[in-house]
Amino acid sequence: MARIGRDEVEAAYFTVLRAREKVGELRRYEEFLHDERRRLQRFVADGDALDAHVQPKLRRKLKHTDDPLGAVLRARHEVIDAELARVPDQIQAAEAFADEAQAEHERLRRA
């Protein structure tokens, strides 16, 4: 059986660190997506509340921007929802890789 070199053990250790960092990044991204969804919902609710207090004829100069703004908000919501659907699988895969990397590091350390 060949002796495992220190460089190989250190490389495995740094792989574990990078893998754990990736898991953390994905979790922060998931949190960001939830926060962004809530922020957009608040923005829409705040806009609706403001509109309720002003006569439509006074808002005429702004009215032409309502539809494009609504389309952009719907598009952003769709992207956020699609990302939120994908992130759990990405986190699970990243965690599995990190666990495998940890096991490999431990195996190399013991060799």
Instruction: Please state, in angstroms and rounded to a whole number, the distance separating the CA atoms of residues 72 and 80.
Output: 12
Using 50 as the pLDDT threshold, list the residues of the chain that sit under it: 1
Instruction: Please state, in angstroms and rounded to a whole number, the distance separating the CA atoms of residues 100 and 75.
Output: 38
- Are 109 and 8 within 8 A, CB to CB? no
- Are 101 and 13 within 8 A, CB to CB? no
The alpha-carbon radius of gyration of the chain (Å, integer) is: 24
* Entry pTM: 0.85
